[in-house]
Amino acid sequence: MSLATPRDADGRAMLGVLGLGSAAELFDQVPESIRLSGALSLPGPLSEPELLAHLEELAERDLHSGKAPCFAGGGIYDHYSPAAVDYLIQRGEFLTAYTSYQPEMSQGFLTAMYEFQTLVSRLYGLDVSNTSLYDAGTGLAEAALLAYEKTRRDRIVAANAINPRYLECLRTVLGPETSSDLVEIPPKGGLTDLQALEAALDDSVACVIVQQPSALGTIENLPAVVEAARRVGAKVVVCADPIAMGILQPPGEAGADIAVGEGQPLGLPMSYGGPLLGLLATTKDFVRILPGRVVGATVDRNGKRGYVLTLQTREQHIRREKATSNICTNQGLCALAATIHLCLMGPRGLRRVASLCVTQSHRLRAGLEGTAFRPLYKAPFFREFAVESPLPVEELQQRMGEAGFIVGSDISALTGVENSLLLAATESRTDAQIDAFVSALKGVA
């Protein structure tokens, strides 16, 4: 196939079909005031060494976790990832611009995705998992659609402080016709207000959504939420942090129907916000309407074990009118990274990381006692907690950045308390870093 541009005759023929006399007429709809009338004001070209030096100088202006301890939370966290994860996913068999989604994809990749599904199912204590989604936000939206499909009901109740970005994604996917049916229950003391939740429930509710830990970092009483939902026949969706599952009760064991989560802490860097990895696991009742794909194990005619794309509910695989989701790809490479990461850690390693998150975040909170930074809630927390800052959060970010630390963003809209933010500490934060961070906070307040 020729990559040459169309010949003049071809161009004239195309313009003729469009009823135009020249290519310039294609832009008549663009207002003259916003058209470029002269040359771009750009510096001259750079040699490769000069360009690299310039890019490195620009990169040095960023305050990133590679040179400043990160105490920000809110959905993306600074966890340690073994070097083997990055090395293995860069092997030529896996690192490709092509998204492997066809039925004839390699046995190696299918095996990895089968292992990924197994790990996610065990992590959340549920029967089946798909081969990933884009992120936790799309996962939450797909979970709500599953509940709609299964119950034929039209209301969703968000039971506690859900990450605002996830809810925004949910509203977008549901669309203007159904977004009014999303009922949000404000938290009480950082936790689900069970009385308000029960008052909002009736037989029109498709599902109850709860985040564990909540977007405020607090640890929810999942069995109580599940029991309230069960009384009206609603499904339960838990947006559960995968690292927290090392020490907290898995959603499936608490009686949840669907679990979703953000897989970024499992071997993926923060990378300024992406790419991310959506986790989704359910009971067997939902297996035939799960979004995306489900890899299954089988044997060939010689009795040799093999893997196949067993279920494919997206529109590129089946007739569009029968598709249950318009998810057109998955995060295959990110899912592989999470698989390798979980295999390297194992159950004991995951439990150890989760325990260190609890230890280090509580050390941080204890260090704030007697300072101007007031924790907002007394409820138990896992890795992060909300505090009220004596300074505007934007000013605090700037001053702490100058001191060499990264802090979280403003969550005042979520807490209802002006100048509030989340502070997080993972297993990557050392005692010395935490002490230095607390000292810097005291210095700016």
In a domain, 20, yes or no: no
Measured CA to CA, the distance from residue 445 to residue 441 in angstroms comes to 6
Instruction: Tell me how far apart the terminal alpha carbons of the chain are, to the nearest angstrom.
Output: 66
In a domain, 23, yes or no: no
In a domain, 394, yes or no: yes
Q: What is the pLDDT of residue 99?
A: 55
| pLDDT of residue 315 exceeding 80 | no
279 with 262, same domain: the answer is: yes
| pLDDT of residue 180 exceeding 70 | no
Band (41; pLDDT cuts 50, 70, 90) = confident
pLDDT above 70 as % of the chain = 91
Instruction: For 87-122, write each residue's pLDDT tens digit.
Output: 999 888 777 655 555 555 678 888 989 999 999 999
Q: 414 in the Ramachandran plot: left (φ > 0), alpha (ψ -120 to 50) or beta?
A: alpha
| pLDDT of residue 260 exceeding 50 | yes
In a domain, 17, yes or no: no
Is the Cα torsion angle 188, 190, 193, 194 positive or negative in sign? negative
**169: domain CATH number?**
3.40.640.10
Q: What is the pLDDT of residue 3?
A: 43
Instruction: For 329-383, write each residue's pLDDT tens digit.
Output: 668 889 999 999 999 999 999 999 999 999 999 999 999 999 999 999 999 999 9
Stretch 72-100: mean pLDDT: 85
Q: Which domain holds residue 360?
A: 346-444
| pLDDT of residue 81 exceeding 60 | yes
Stretch 76-93: mean pLDDT: 92
| pLDDT of residue 179 exceeding 60 | no
Q: What is the pLDDT of residue 4?
A: 45
172 with 103, same domain: the answer is: yes
Residue 346 CB partners (closer than 8 Å, separation 6+): none
Stretch 392-416: mean pLDDT: 94
Measured CA to CA, the distance from residue 339 to residue 215 in angstroms comes to 25
More confident residue, 253 or 9: 253
- Quote the number of domains for the chain: 2
Q: What are phi and psi of 69, to 5 degrees?
A: -60, 135
Band (2; pLDDT cuts 50, 70, 90) = very low
Band (285; pLDDT cuts 50, 70, 90) = very high
Q: What is the pLDDT of residue 292?
A: 81
**373: domain CATH number?**
3.90.1150.10
The strands making up 258-262's β-sheet, listed across from edge to edge, are 128-129, 278-282, 258-262, 235-240, 205-212, 155-158, 182-184
More confident residue, 285 or 106: 285
Band (136; pLDDT cuts 50, 70, 90) = very high
In a domain, 32, yes or no: no
Say if CB 117 and CB 292 are below 8 A apart: no
**Scanning the structure block, which residue is given the tokens 């698989």?**
339
In a domain, 288, yes or no: yes
Measured CA to CA, the distance from residue 423 to residue 433 in angstroms comes to 14
Which residues are bridge partners to 211 per DSSP?
Answer: 239
Q: How far is CA 336 from CA 94, 99, 130, 140, 290, in A?
A: 9, 13, 13, 21, 20
The pTM of this model reads: 0.86
| pLDDT of residue 296 exceeding 70 | yes
| Structural tokens at position 296 | 């299954």
Domain boundary residue, one of 288, 313, 342: 342
The CA-based angle 370-63-403, given to 5 degrees, is 35
| Structural tokens at position 321 | 């009118």
Measured CA to CA, the distance from residue 238 to residue 224 in angstroms comes to 13
Helices (H), 231-331: 251-254
| pLDDT of residue 321 exceeding 80 | no
234 with 361, same domain: the answer is: no
Q: What are phi and psi of 255, to 5 degrees?
A: 105, 10
Stretch 299-324: mean pLDDT: 75
157 with 174, same domain: the answer is: yes
Q: What is the pLDDT of residue 1?
A: 37
Domain boundary residue, one of 314, 342, 370: 342
